[in-house]
Amino acid sequence: MTVLAVRGLSVSVGDTELVKDVSLEIGAGERVGLIGESGSGKSLTASAVMGLLPEELDVSGSVELDGRQLLGMPERELSRLRGRAMSMVFQEPMTALNPSMQVGKQVAEVMRLHRTNQDPRAAAVDLLDRVRLPDPRRAAKAYPHQLSGGQRQRVMLAMALANNPSLLICDEPTTALDVTVQAQILDLILANTQGSALLFITHDLAVVATVCERVLVMYDGQIVESGLVLDVFTAPQHRYTQQLLASSDLESTDENGRLKTVSHD
Amino acid sequence: MILALMRRTGIFVVSVAAASVAVFLFMAVLPGDPAQVALGINATPELVARTRAEFGTDRPLATQYFDWIGGVLTGDFGRSYVTRDLIGPQLADRLGVTLWLVGAAMVIALLIAVPLGSFAAVRHRKLSGTVISGVSQLGVAVPAFLAGILLVQVFAVQWRLLPSGGWTPPDQDFGEFLRGLILPALALGLVQGAVLTRYVRSAVLDTLREDYLRTARAKGLRPGQALVRHGLRNAAVPVVTVLGLQLTTLLIGAVVVERVFVLPGLGSMLLDSVAARDLLTVQGIVLVLVIAALLVNFLVDLLYTAIDPRLRRS
Ligand SMILES: Nc1ncnc2c1ncn2[C@@H]1O[C@H](COP(=O)(O)OP(=O)(O)OP(=O)(O)O)[C@@H](O)[C@H]1O
Ligand SMILES: [Mg+2]
C-alpha cells in the first residue's frame, strides 16, 4: 500500500529551480533512503512534502499522502495531518526544540493538539522512556539546554513518533551526533517505525545501508539514480553515485553480500 | 537561583547607594550657595551665615550627606530651601501622578506594539505588514509633546470629549481620573508604542526563522498558534531589554507631557524647582528618578531569568 507518492515535484526560487521533477513512492513499512551531497535539495524535498517550505519558495507537482493531495491543501487541513499522519525529525537537534519549554510539555503537546491521548503528560514520559532517555520522569521536566545533543534528538524522535504517523521523515537525524549515539538512535528509529513509511535523508552511505531497503540518489536537485540499496551500491550507474561510493569506505561487502556498516550492538 | 537573586539585589543596592552619592556631590559642586540663592543678593553676610547654619550647609560635606541620606531612608527628604515645606510628602504625591502616567503609557505602548509588531512580522511579505512598518516608522518621528498637542486639539478642543489637562486623584473621582489620564497617557504611549512595534517586529521575525518554530509547525500547529505558543516568549527577551530602556525614556517624556497637560507630576515638580533654584528639592527628585531607572533595570534582569530558563543556573 502506497503511503507517500510524490510526482514531478519542483521547488523554485524566482527562475532558479532548486528541486527538479522529483518523483518517489514509499509504501507502508518501507524504508527509503535519500542521499546526495550537501545542497542537492534533500531537505527542500522533505520540507515540500511536509508543506513547510519557506514562503519565498514556489512549489509545483503532486504530493499524495494516503491518497490525499497535499499540495494546495488549505493550511488548516494540512496542519491536522502534520504531527499526526506525517511527522519529521530535523537535521539540527540543538536548535529544533523550544529553549524555554520543558521537553515533556513539548512532547505532550503533539498529543494534546491532535487529541490522541487521554493523559498526554503521562504518555510523554512513556515516550521518553521508549526512546531510552534515562530517568524519563526527570527528563520530562528538563529544559533542552540541560540535555545533550543525543538526548535532544531522542526527544525529537519521541515527538515524531507520539501519534504513530504513517509517514516519518528523518532529515539527517544523526549527522550531528557521535558514532555510538548515532547507532543507538538508528536502532530506535528502526524499532519504532515498523508499520510506517520512512524517508531517511543522509549523506552517510553506511547509515543508508543499515536502515534502508531502497535508496534514491539526489544530485543538483534531481533524482539521478534509484533502486534497491544493494543494487545501487554494488553497481552504481550515475557518475556522482560512483564517486560517492569511491570516496566512502564502503566498497567491501560482508559474507552475506550486505554492505559493511557501522556496527551497533 | 536564590544566589543569583541575592547577587542581583546586592548589585541593585550598591548602585542605589553609589547613585545617591553621585547625586549629592553633583548638587554640592554646583556653583551658588543655597543660603545666598534663597535670600537674594541684597542679604547681609550675617543673615546668610545664619541661614546657612539653619540649612546645615555650613557643615562638612560628609556630615551633610549622611544627614540627608539618613533622612531619605525614613522618607524625610528635608525642607525646601525656598518654601520651607517638607519635601517628602509632596514628592510622594507627585511620584504617584507620574507613575500612573508612565504606567498607563507603557500599557498603551504594549497593547499597540505586541499585536501590531507580531502581525507585521508574520505578514512581512504582504502589503499589510509593510504598511504597519511604515506607519510605525512615521510614529517614531513624532515627539511626545507634538502628539500631545494634536490629541488635545482633536479630542479636547474640537470634539470636547476629554479634558485638555488637569488632574483628579483616583480616590476622589475615578471616572474623572481616567478621563484625565487618557490623553496624556496616549501622547506618551503612542510614540513609545510605535518605537516598540519595530522592536517587536524584528524580534518576532528573528523568532519566526528559528528551527523550533518549524518544529512547532511540524507538530501540527498553525502558523499563528506556533508563534503564540512557542515564539512570543522567546521573542520577549530582546523586547524586554528595549522596554527597560524605554521606561527611562518615558520618565523623561513624562516631564514634557506633564507640562503640556498641566499634571502635578514629578516632571513638572522638577521643572518648577529648577526654575526656583530649590536645590534640595531638585536633589530629592533627581534621586527618586535615578532610583526608578535603576529599579527598572533590576526588574528587567529578574524578568530575563523568569523568561529564559537558560539564564537560571549561573
Ligand atoms: N529559502 C531558500 N532560498 C533560496 N535558496 C534556498 C533556500 N533554501 C535552500 N536553498 C538552496 O537550495 C539548495 C538545496 O538546499 P537543501 O537544504 O535542500 O540541501 P540539502 O541537500 O538538504 O543539503 P545538506 O545535506 O547540506 O542539508 C541549496 O543550494 C540551498 O542553497
Ligand atoms: Mg539538509
* Position A201 pLDDT exceeds 70: yes
Cβ contacts of B98 within 8 Å, gap of 6 or more = B251, B254, B258, B265, B266, B267
**DSSP 8-state class, residue A40:** S
- Per the structure, how many domains does chain B have? 1
Q: Decide if A166 contacts A30 (C-beta within 8 A).
A: no
Cell of B225: 498558534
Grid cell 549561573 is found at: B314
B52, part of any domain? no
Identify the CATH number of the domain in which residue B266 sits.
Answer: 1.10.3720.10
User: Strand (E) positions, chain A?
Assistant: 2-13, 16-27, 31-36, 58-65, 68-69, 86-89, 167-171, 197-201, 214-219, 222-228
CB-closest option in B215, B222, B234 to A90: B215
C-alpha–C-alpha distance, residues A232 and A228, integer Å: 6
**How do beta strands A214-219 and A58-65 pair?**
unpaired
* Position B253 pLDDT exceeds 80: yes
Cβ contacts of A152 within 8 Å, gap of 6 or more = A93, A94, A96, A97, A103, A144
Q: Decide if A97 contacts B219 (C-beta within 8 A).
A: no
C-alpha–C-alpha distance, residues B45 and B178, integer Å: 52
Domain definitions of chain A by residue range: 27-57+76-85+167-265, 94-164
Average pLDDT of the residues in A21-43: 94
C-alpha–C-alpha distance, residues B260 and B253, integer Å: 11
Half-sphere exposure in the Cβ direction for B217 (13 Å, CA):
21
**DSSP SS3 for A55:** coil
Q: Does the beta carbon of A22 sit less than 6 angstroms from any atom of ligand 1?
A: no
When mean pLDDT is compared across A47-61, B48-62, B119-133, the lowest value belongs to B119-133
Q: Does the beta carbon of A8 sit less than 6 angstroms from any atom of ligand 1?
A: no
Of the candidates B198, B191, B199, B194, which has an alpha carbon nearest to the alpha carbon of residue B143? B191
C-alpha–C-alpha distance, residues B221 and A50, integer Å: 13
Average pLDDT of the residues in B173-179: 91
pLDDT band for B304, please (50, 70, 90 cuts).
confident
Grid cell 491518497 is found at: A67
Q: Decide if B91 contacts B44 (C-beta within 8 A).
A: no
Whether residues A110 and B220 touch (CB distance < 8 A) is answered with yes
When mean pLDDT is compared across A17-21, A49-53, B135-139, the lowest value belongs to B135-139
B54, part of any domain? no
C-alpha–C-alpha distance, residues B252 and A213, integer Å: 70
Grid cell 528523518 is found at: A170
Cβ contacts of B113 within 8 Å, gap of 6 or more = B193, B194, B196, B197, B199, B200
Grid cell 547625586 is found at: B23
Q: Which site among A50, A98, A159 would you substitute to test the B interface, given the most B Cβ atoms closer than 10 Å to its Cβ?
A: A98
Residue A262 confidence (pLDDT): 41
Q: Does the beta carbon of A179 sit less than 6 angstroms from any atom of ligand 1?
A: no
pLDDT tens-digit readout, B92-102: 999 999 999 99
Of the candidates A51, A70, A53, which has an alpha carbon nearest to the alpha carbon of residue A4? A70
B159, part of any domain? yes
Give the domain extent around B190.
88-311
Q: Whose CA is nearest to atom 18 of ligand 1?
A: A41
Q: Decide if B181 contacts B173 (C-beta within 8 A).
A: no
Please report, for residues A218, B151, B249, the alpha-carbon distance to residue A159 in angstroms, rounded to integers and kept in the order given.
28, 53, 45
Average pLDDT of the residues in B198-207: 92
Helix intervals (H) in chain B:
2-29, 34-39, 45-55, 61-73, 87-122, 127-140, 144-151, 174-208, 211-219, 223-226, 232-260, 266-275, 279-307
Q: Does the beta carbon of A44 sit less than 6 angstroms from any atom of ligand 1?
A: yes
Average pLDDT of the residues in A91-108: 92
**DSSP SS3 for A61:** strand
Residue A255 confidence (pLDDT): 47
Between A and B, how many residue pairs show a Cβ–Cβ distance under 8 A? 72
Instruction: Please check whether residue A90 touches B, CB under 8 A.
Output: yes
Residue B313 confidence (pLDDT): 63
Average pLDDT of the residues in B283-301: 91
- Work out the mean pLDDT of chain A and round it to a whole number: 90
C-alpha–C-alpha distance, residues B258 and B98, integer Å: 8
- For the entire predicted model, the pTM comes to 0.81
What CATH number has the domain spanning A27-57+76-85+167-265? 3.40.50.300
Grid cell 526656583 is found at: B276
Instruction: Please check whether residue B206 touches A, CB under 8 A.
Output: no
pLDDT tens-digit readout, A176-199: 778 888 888 888 888 888 889 999
b (16+ CB within 10 A) / e for A42-76: bbbbbbbbbbbbeeeeebebebbbbeeebbebeee
Cell of A218: 539526489
Q: Nearest-CA distance from A166 to chain B in Å?
A: 14
The alpha carbon of A162 and the centre of ligand 2 are apart by a number of angstroms equal to 23
* Position A11 pLDDT exceeds 50: yes
Of the candidates B42, B48, B85, which has an alpha carbon nearest to the alpha carbon of residue B280? B85
When mean pLDDT is compared across A46-50, A114-118, B46-50, B69-73, the lowest value belongs to B46-50
CB-closest option in B125, B212, B216 to A55: B125
C-alpha–C-alpha distance, residues B164 and B153, integer Å: 8
pLDDT tens-digit readout, A236-262: 999 988 888 887 765 554 444 444 444
C-alpha–C-alpha distance, residues B66 and B72, integer Å: 10
Whether residues B219 and A99 touch (CB distance < 8 A) is answered with no
Cell of A195: 508499520
**A50 neighbourhood in chain B, CB within 8 Å:** 218
Q: Does the beta carbon of A13 sit less than 6 angstroms from any atom of ligand 1?
A: yes
Long-range contacts, A55-60 (Cβ 8 Å, 24+): A55/B125, A56/A13, A56/B125, A57/A11, A57/A12, A57/A13, A57/A18, A58/A11, A58/A12, A58/A13, A59/A9, A59/A10, A59/A11, A59/A12, A60/A8, A60/A9, A60/A10, A60/A12
According to DSSP, the residues that pair with A13 across neighbouring strands are A16
Grid cell 544493494 is found at: A230
Give the number of the ligand closest to the Cα of residue A16: 1
